[in-house]
Each structure stands twice: as C-alpha cells, then as structure tokens.
Structure 1
Amino acid sequence: MSSDSAGMAQLFNIEPTFAGTTVTPQSAMRISAVYACVRLIAGAKASMPVQMFQKRDGARYLVDDHTYLPLLNEEPSTCCSAAVFWEFIESSRQLYGDGFAYIDRNRNGVPQELIPLHPLRVMSEKLVNGRIAYYVMFDDGTYRGVDQDDMLQFCNFGWDGLRSMSTIRWGARQSIGTAIAAENHSGKFFQNGVMPSVVLEYDGKMAPEVVEQLRNEFELRYGGGVNAHKPLILTGGTKAQALQMSATDAQLLETRNFQVIDIARAFGVPPFMIGESEKQSSWGAGMATMSQAFINYTLQPHLVRDEQELKRKLFRIGRYTVEFDRRALLRGDLEKLGAYYRQAIGGSMGPGWLSINEVRRYENAAPMADADGLYSPTPLQGATSETKPAA
C-alpha cells in the first residue's frame, strides 16, 4: 500500500487514463463492447455442465451420483442457481481479476455450500509458511479469516501469488477510457438534435442581449431529440447554415469502431462474436467451427484453471476429477454434432470410441439394451463387457 496519490489511485482502481477518464468495473460495463465480452464469456461458461470422473483400474469412468454434482450443476448456494453462480464468478474474474467462493463445510469437512463472494469483500495475505489466508466480509457483517483450503479462487491470467490481473485494468484500460471519452463526446454531439456547427447569419448588428436571446430561443425550439426534423423558421433576414461533418467528427466514428476491436482483443473474444461485422471472420463458417475455436482459444485457459482449482480444493482423494463439458456449446450445429457421433460409434466402419448408450446419455436419452459395447470391424483382443463390439 502507498500513501501517495498515484499509489492510492492504483489501489482503488481510479487512476485516470490518457483520455482523462476513470475506468472502474461499473463504468467499463457501461461500454457495450465490454458488456458484450463479459456477457459472452460468462454465459458460455455457465452453459457448460460440470462432469465428474473417477479413476479406476487405469481407466476413467463418468460419475453421475456424487453428492458434489448438485453443488456444481444445480444449486451451489441457497442464494443462486448454478448458472448464476458461474456467471458471477466469471464476470468477477474479468472485471476484478479473480472470482471467489467460500466452501462452507460441515463438521466432517464435507462441502455443503459454495458461497459466491464479491472480490472487494476478500483480502488475501501470504503467511510465513507459504499458505494464503483470506479475510472476508460476509453478508451478516462479520469479518473473519478463511484458510486457503476453504476458499475457491478462480484466477485470471497473471497471478502474482495473491491476486490476478484484471482484464479491464491491465489489458483494456486505455481502450475503455478512450471509449468512455468517445461515448461522452458522441452524446454531446447529438444532444441538441442538430449539428453543433450550425451557424446563424444576420446581415445587421445585434445587441448582445438579443444575440443571447436568439441562441436560447433556437436551442429551446430546435434542440433535443424531440425537436428533431421540425421546420426551421427564421425572420428578420436571419439565415441558418449547416456545416458538413468535419474530419475530426469523422475520425471520432473510426475511433469508436477501433475501440470495439481493441477491447475484444483484450478479452480474447473475436470481434464478430460481439456484433462487429465490418471485417470478415477468418475462423471459417458454421456455428460448430466458430464455437470450437472460441472454446479452444478463449475459454480453454479459464476452464483448465477452474477444473484444477475445484479438484484440489473439493477432493481430498486424487481419484476424482471434474471437467466442464465443452460439447455443450457444439449442440447449436446438429449436423456437425450428428456427424461426430456417427464417427464416434464407428459409422465409417472404423473402430468406435463411444458406445450407443454413451451417446444417448450425452443427449439425455434412456439407455438401450445391448448397446454398451464398442464397435470394431474386427474382434477386440481381450474384450470385456464394456469393450466388446456392438451387436
């Protein structure tokens, strides 16, 4: 901590940008590009169910009856559903650098609830033994310390041992500041409903009070959006001349378009996925192709960090692991998904790696009799009841 003005501004995230504006999570979310990026990433994360697997006999098996699954997929806390929980965690990470959830355990150490915490309510400290202690202000007004084993910290890029880098502060602060300044200027530009470069010409000489009265009357009758396109009536030889948009005003529009792309770049979101369609995407066509690329290059780093955090904090035994089901985002293109399933069960006369019942389980359908085996064009050596070729 620092007592100088620059240090305090950095501490409370109120340091001004080069454009003279202050970027905070609240002001940043008023920019449509920031709102769209955060909403897209958080919504995609919340739409993927969390799967649990168990390692046994050198293989990995899907678990669907564990007591932790409702916490991760239905109701982590009494205050919210799982979708709202994951959206809050992801938006906290993008805006503040980290998402936090307190693990409320019973006397046996079994998690009973995952309580989401606002990042500003959590302070962290590195202890002498290398562990991290968290000091949390809870909703009931109590302030108490929490051991690192009872706190889920979903980190962003750039973790320094205690906190991670906030996207809006480190990656897009100047771009967001410029966007805020451009928004303010654009609002003032269109506030009066007419070009601010309208010139009223009068051949004679007016007294100062008459000039002021004319200006006020003109703004009163023709200013604002409600007065737009009203017929303009001038008397006494007064003429109105509207100037063309200047190069500075045209450059303002280009600046606003560029800030959308620059903000999307900081969040790792392709601009076309937040409505910037002036430039053609190089990611290929089709919802499945774009969704898979978005998963690989934008969501994957966050998902891996979250999976590892959940595994090391929730499971004392190493044979369990959790994963977000990436296939949930591929269901928008049924043709591509159907082709994948067909190939997975051996539709091209090649060896299959999924059984028919596994595919039906992914699609929430009831299992079929004698549909648990894997297809193979030749009998599998040492086939078991789970690996023998399908009939």
Structure 2
Amino acid sequence: MKIFGFEIRKASKAEVSSIPAYSAGGPGIHLASRSYPMLLSTVYRCVDLISDSVAVLPLEIFKTDALGYKIKDRLHPLYELLDLEPNENMTRYVFFKTIMSSVLLTGNGYAYIEREGTKPVQLVYIPSSMVSIQWIIDSNGIRRKRYMVAGFKELVEPMDMIHVLNFSYDGIIGVSTLTHARQTLGIATSSEEHAAGFFKGGGSVSGVLTVEGPRLDKKQKDQIYSTWKERINPDTGSPAGIAVLEGNMKYQPISINPKDAQLLESRQFNVVDICRFFSVSPVKAFDLSKSSYSTIEATQLEYLTDTVLAVITKIEQEINRKVFLPSERNMYHAEFNTSAILRADKAAQGAFWKDMANIGAATPNEVRREIGMSRIDDGDEAFVQVNVQTLKNAIKEKAEMSDKISVNE
C-alpha cells in the first residue's frame, strides 16, 4: 500500500512478542516539548551549528577500483538522490539538517527508503515521534527488530529505514542530548527567567515600606500599593519612576542585587556547561570571553575532528549499508566531501592545494576544478619539485663528483 506517496514493504509473517516497544523520542522527550529548550540561545546555536556543519557537505559516491583507488562516480543512479534531492520535498541541505536536528533533540533521526523493486528512489524523513521499535519472533524463533510508524499498516524492516542514533546505551535507540542535560537546561532556563523578571521589574529590587505612627487600615494600605505600583511598575511606562515618601515612611530593600546573586556569572557558566553536552567549544557558541585568534583557529580544527567527524561517520555508515545493494558495497560507497568546509577559508584552501600540487598529488586542472575555475591547456600533467632527492641518490652523486675531481687532478 502507499502512504505519503511511497510504498510500504510488508514485514515477514511473525508473531509480535510481548517485549515492550522502545519510545523513539527517548524518556521524557516529545515533539511538543523539544522546542522549549531551543529558546535558550546556547542550545539553539549548538543544534544549528552541528546540523549546518553536516548539511553543507556534499555527499558523493565513489567507486573503488581493483588497486584500491577511489574514483568519483557522478553517473551512478543514486548520485542525484544522495547529493541533490533525497526526496521531492527537500534538498540535500534541508534533509540532513532536519535529520541532525532530530538526532540532537530527540536522540534519533529516521528516513524511510522508498524503493522501486530494489532501487531506492526517495529518502523520506519521518519525525521520531511517529516511530517506535518493535521486536518480532520469526518462524525460526529468532527475535528481530522492526520499525512501527504511525499511519503505516505494516512494520518496516531495518533495511528500509535510515536510523541515525545519538548517544545510545544499547545501540538500539538513541538518547537525546537534552535528556542528559536536563538539569543544566533547567538551571539555565531558571536563570533566564530570573533575568527576564528582574529587567521586567525595571531592574529594581523588592523591599519593605514601613510607616511610623498609627496602624494603617486596609484602604490606606491599598492606596499606598496603588501609588507605588503606578510610579515604579514598568507596565505603567515609568520603570525608573521616582516615588515620593511621606515623612513617616521608610523604604528598606530586602532582596539581593544581581551581582550579589552572581546572575551574570551563572548565565555565562550555563553557556559553557551546555556546550559540553553538545561537544562544542564555547567559542563556537560566540562566547569570546576567553579566546584569542590562536584559540579560535585551534578550536575550529578541534571541532572538525572531535565533533563533525564522528557525526558524518555514523551517517555515512548507515547510508552505505542500507542504500547500496549488497553486491555494490565492495565497489561503491558514499562519502561526505569535507573539503567543502575550506570554501570559506581561502588561505587554508590555497595552502592545501598548493601542497597537493607540489607533491604531484594533483594536476593544475584538478586544482582549478576544485576551486571553480575552467581548465587550461597542458594542465593535466602533475608536477613535482626537483630540489629534493633521496639520500641514496645524494650519496651516489657525491661519490660521482669526487671521482670526476680525482680524474681532473
């Protein structure tokens, strides 16, 4: 049958076991609640940064020849599907950004593989709140995993579901980063709410207004409250208003100020603590309080090796084992082109291709192609520097030179 425009493959006949289903969203995390932490600027920045870092990378197909060399294959039937348009509603950028956002916020990212026969024709993103995992017992008594998708009448087999996990305790279901960081997020949210309440109150502190003399009745108290609120409350348009006290009145503040409460320090620490959970340096979250140019440069390299590399590796492996046919896996594989990250850094891009050209690893036309320039005549031959040689040749030439000198003498 077809749902959402794609065909659902039938699972093998089996009896569904009594093993409870895992919740795809992780404990306590649901589609409606995951947007609330995104109101915190640090969470938003970390999720946006990591998902963007994956989405900007081209996903290319390579063919491995008999000698183990990789050759980019743009003619493969799946090249357009993986690198341009995974489905009719999304570009590659939107697809992988959505997948990674789901992975970070809910612990799991799902995409159904729509096939015509055995050929994949679409990768359809499915929200994690619509997916749960069921275990079935097949006719041989073997327990097997299946995906139950809301609205589907049949279970989906693992080979037809791209499943990218966040941190996982069992390798079956991922756990949201928000789940591990819920205490820190609660503290950060409370800090932001406290700061908002402080500024909404005009930046003033609460206190006690004492009146010397006879006891006040309720009407007099209400009149004083009303006058004070009119002069001080920000809703009246005069948060910095001046209240005139009678001769027998005295105002005494009773709450501590933001500095004494270390409000600013707490909010800054929240940034660092949230970044730890997402494996992102505070510098990448625009906390430049303890950074320098050398720090930023080192941070960028650390981010690529410690954060982005791990993410793209698990996506590549999941796609390679499910999108390609078993007969193709030894010859073809999909790989993110990380050199795309160098586009914004022209100095690093130039240094990289200069080194590749100097050792003969790239021809002038290959370099020009990668930096978006047209090819030139006679640019398909590699060049190497000639001012270096092996130690063996250096000793040989020295010996030959000595012999020539001896003969001349």
Mean Cα deviation higher: 179-188 or 305-314: 179-188
In structure 2, the partner of 1:53 is: 62
Match of 1:370 among 367, 378, 381: 378
1:132, CA displacement in angstroms?
2.3
What does residue range 1-391 of structure 1 map to in structure 2 within 5 Å?
12-13=27-28, 24-58=33-67, 59-106=69-116, 108-128=117-137, 129=142, 131-137=144-150, 141-158=151-168, 160-170=170-180, 172-205=181-214, 206-224=216-234, 227-228=237-238, 230-234=240-244, 236-237=246-247, 238=249, 240=251, 245-246=256-257, 250-280=261-291, 284-286=295-297, 289-316=298-325, 317-318=328-329, 319-346=331-358, 351-377=359-385
Deviations 1:50-80 (A, max 9, x none): 1211001211111223232222222211222
Change (3 A) 1:14 1:73: closer
The question of whether the paired residues in 1 share the 8 Å contact of 2:51 and 2:96 is answered with yes
1:352, CA displacement in angstroms?
2.1
Change (3 A) 1:235 1:83: same
1:305, CA displacement in angstroms?
0.6
Change (3 A) 1:294 1:14: closer
**Percent same amino acid at aligned positions?**
29
Give the match's secondary structure for 1:195: coil
Mean Cα deviation higher: 196-205 or 54-63: 196-205
1:248, CA displacement in angstroms?
7.7
Change (3 A) 1:115 1:356: same
The question of whether the paired residues in 2 share the 8 Å contact of 1:103 and 1:115 is answered with yes
Which amino acid counterpart does residue 51 of structure 1 have in structure 2?
Answer: E
Change (3 A) 1:343 1:78: same
Give the match's secondary structure for 1:54: strand
1:2, CA displacement in angstroms?
12
The question of whether the paired residues in 2 share the 8 Å contact of 1:193 and 1:227 is answered with no
1:273, CA displacement in angstroms?
0.8
Deviations 1:128-154 (A, max 9, x none): 4454211112xxx44431111110011
The question of whether the paired residues in 2 share the 8 Å contact of 1:295 and 1:326 is answered with no
User: Residues of 2 paired with 1:221 and 1:231: CA distance?
Assistant: 5
1:44, CA displacement in angstroms?
1.2
In structure 1, the partner of 2:15 is: none
Change (3 A) 1:368 1:131: farther
1:334, CA displacement in angstroms?
0.7
Which amino acid counterpart does residue 83 of structure 1 have in structure 2?
Answer: Y
Which amino acid counterpart does residue 195 of structure 1 have in structure 2?
Answer: S
Give TM-score scaled by structure 1 length: 0.82
Give TM-score scaled by structure 2 length: 0.78
User: Residues of 2 paired with 1:44 and 1:248: CA distance?
Assistant: 37
CA RMSD of aligned residues (A): 3.0
1:367, CA displacement in angstroms?
2.9
Which amino acid counterpart does residue 376 of structure 1 have in structure 2?
Answer: V
Change (3 A) 1:344 1:266: same
In structure 2, the partner of 1:385 is: none
